[in-house]
Structure 1
């Protein structure tokens, strides 16, 4: 999820307790039809995806099930079209979902890392409890739709499930706050099925700095480095999306296994805090990791990023409680003023081709072996034109094919690269488990009293 969307979730949690809202923002961009794809290119893409599982690094459907259905998997019918799903009462402008079974099948998805996100301001035992509940939602999807989904815990599982015609469901924990500063809890989250963990989310936690917060730890603390070491020993992928550049560099310096960026773009295309610099991309190449391109419009388009910053400043000028504003306490006037600004300053368009630009930039700097796809579907409020939902992955690969990508390279970006990283992490874990015992170090021992 984008920082704005997920922090909205955190604020709503604090204000409304367990009555969680839907988090997606209203889409302001029209849902344009994808351009027609050359039939020969479409056939090539289909052939690639028959052999190689298309693996998306990040989807927030599990959080939407909590937000829209109270976490009850049986109350949201994924066999139906969810694109026009009615919004929650407390989020009347929320769009429909980007994920459902018909569109997953149309998109030829072979594997999905489902995020088990919890707002980063929820910490301690409450975060652990909610994390386990989110894991239960993901497992509940596989139990309710066994003909469509099957839980996967290894690279071999993904390949086997894809060959059987089902979608391999993997679990990603989206923030180190979700383990409550505890290596034993990390191990139990892994035992529950999680195969990656993002080291931080939109705010700093006790041991890792975020990309979207002021530095607090100068990257990773000693305990944070111990977390990376234990993840290596377990075979759990270290995810560096959301973290600060210093945290990225610290993690890359200490990890013994390849890392992932589950949903990030290239700063060389759009200088957004959530994207990855060319200097770090070169380190990722040395690490043999993978950067999975995000579809969030402000991460994709530099022009859209600037527009969003200007709009946020304008919104704050009109009404920014508790700090005041021109129309503080006058929500109707504030809404009208922002609508007038929107009319005078239409949002710059963002397209599928721009996502392809990020993929090509990452491949140019880092190599074609370290790029993948991490859409952030159902965690972003709007999408690029041509990538409106999970049925659109083939169109993105077709755009790369149109630009001259070979079938071999299409297979790598679709899922081959992240499968390789998963296998390499499993191999590192096997070696470490033969020589290294689990760590019971505490944050107090390694970092001192906070």
Structure 2
């Protein structure tokens, strides 16, 4: 009897610390077991804009000194030091190019962005490893390297050609966002006047061919109709590489509840970002007010652009934009988890593609603070591990498995346009 009492007491002694684990301890344990796999980072865009893709003496170890106040250029939000602090173990680097380019320019620019990303990774081989498979990601993270993948942001990057799509895949692109801010000739964007009511027949073929290859279909930036059409066609999980919940912030860039309801059956994932205009409803409303005030001042001061600009600056100074905090990001994650399940959440900060962030998530180093907030809200360690990277790993493995099952299918062909 005494032996049984001692055993019971020992078990209670071990169980008590587990039950009383602090949010900080739960978050730390989750991030140790499953480092963050971020769905969208625009460092390649910064290299293009700031350096014209000439790396030269560029150091990715610490980019805090990249600010240029004279040109109103802020410091970059990403570097190796801060990626380590943020517990980031895998990163989709966005090989974004402007949607204002014509097809041929967009294809060339995308190739240049793929090239500069590969050169950045190669220059930092002690810390980064280029990956094109889920197995590579797992091995790189185990080795303590930041697994580096590439995603194309905007279907204009393939110039209306499935042949180009296939070659981008061969070069290492592992997702493509179907649109950016503007429609393509085959898909409607969330922030442009609808033309196609979703996807055209060719757009549906793009989705089919992407999934045949094993390239993830990214539905950030697309209209709700395009989301629905893509889900109708998709046979493998889709992703939203950097989007939030429309029910929490009604910006059209966000994901409607009707789509979230379908996401569970698809097995897809929404990777939430830190941009105030997409996270905080008050910020979205402020942007509307600013645009209204700008239009009013331009009409009031016709032929006096400087007067109008100065008056707008004064209005902004008197009415600063609300930016919210990481608690607002947590609200989006809570909502997505409630509707689509804990398997459907991820993180895609959009760092170095956004000029402002919510408070507490100023750069890539801040992810642990978000995990602590979620642990305070009752997220379990298993759910936090899913959010960090296990959900994204599952999605990529599923996309690869589907592609392997279609290995015998012929490529979908489309005629050349010139």
* Pairs aligned (count): 399
Q: Give the aligned partner of residue 67 of structure 2.
A: 86
- Superposed CA deviations along residues 276-300 of structure 1, whole A, max 9, x for unmatched, are 1100001111101000111110110
Return the offset for 1:83.
3.2
Distance 1:248 1:443 in 2: 27
Return the offset for 1:41.
3.0
Distance 1:348 1:172 in 2: 31
Aligned-residue CA RMSD in angstroms?
1.8
Secondary structure of the 2:67 match is: coil
Secondary structure of the 2:249 match is: coil
Give yes or no for contact 1:356–1:399 (8 Å, CA) kept in 2: yes
The correspondence for 2:35, drawn from 43, 53, 57, is 53
Distance 1:256 1:349 in 2: 38
Secondary structure of the 1:273 match is: coil
Q: Verify: 1:277 aligned to 2:236, yes or no.
A: no
Q: Please give the residue correspondences for 1:175-186 in structure 2 after superposition, counting only pairs within 5 Å.
A: 175-186=154-165
The correspondence for 1:359, drawn from 333, 341, 350, is 333
* Higher helix content, 1 or 2: 2
The correspondence for 1:41, drawn from 20, 23, 34, is 23
Q: Give the aligned partner of residue 389 of structure 2.
A: 415
Give yes or no for contact 1:223–1:443 (8 Å, CA) kept in 2: no
Q: Give the aligned partner of residue 10 of structure 2.
A: none
Question: Which structure is larger by alpha-carbon Rg, 1 or 2?
Answer: 2
Give yes or no for contact 1:263–1:374 (8 Å, CA) kept in 2: yes
Q: Verify: 1:141 aligned to 2:120, yes or no.
A: yes
Q: Please give the residue correspondences for 1:44-443 in structure 2 after superposition, counting only pairs within 5 Å.
A: 44-80=26-62, 82-87=63-68, 92-319=71-298, 325-328=299-302, 330-434=304-408, 436-442=409-415
Distance 2:148 2:274 in 1: 20
Secondary structure of the 2:66 match is: coil
Give yes or no for contact 1:223–1:442 (8 Å, CA) kept in 2: no
Structure 2: segments with no counterpart, 5+ residues: 1-19
Distance 2:290 2:65 in 1: 27
Return the offset for 1:433.
1.2
Specify whether residues 93 and 55 from structure 1 end up closer, same or farther in structure 2 by C-alpha distance, changes over 3 A only: same
Instruction: Judge which range, 120-129 or 378-387, deviates more.
Output: 120-129
Give yes or no for contact 1:208–1:221 (8 Å, CA) kept in 2: yes
Q: Please give the residue correspondences for 1:12-31 in structure 2 after superposition, counting only pairs within 5 Å.
A: none
Distance 2:21 2:99 in 1: 45
Secondary structure of the 1:104 match is: helix
Distance 2:54 2:127 in 1: 18
Distance 2:64 2:361 in 1: 13
Return the offset for 1:95.
1.5
Give yes or no for contact 1:65–1:76 (8 Å, CA) kept in 2: no
Give yes or no for contact 1:300–1:358 (8 Å, CA) kept in 2: yes
Distance 1:234 1:88 in 2: 45
Distance 1:301 1:99 in 2: 23
Give yes or no for contact 1:162–1:168 (8 Å, CA) kept in 2: yes
Distance 1:283 1:415 in 2: 21
Structure 1: segments with no counterpart, 5+ residues: 1-37, 320-324
Specify whether residues 300 and 138 from structure 1 end up closer, same or farther in structure 2 by C-alpha distance, changes over 3 A only: same
- Superposed CA deviations along residues 126-164 of structure 1, whole A, max 9, x for unmatched, are 111110110111111111100111011111111100000
Return the offset for 1:84.
4.3
**TM-score normalised to structure 2 length:** 0.92
Distance 1:179 1:349 in 2: 35
Return the offset for 1:388.
0.4
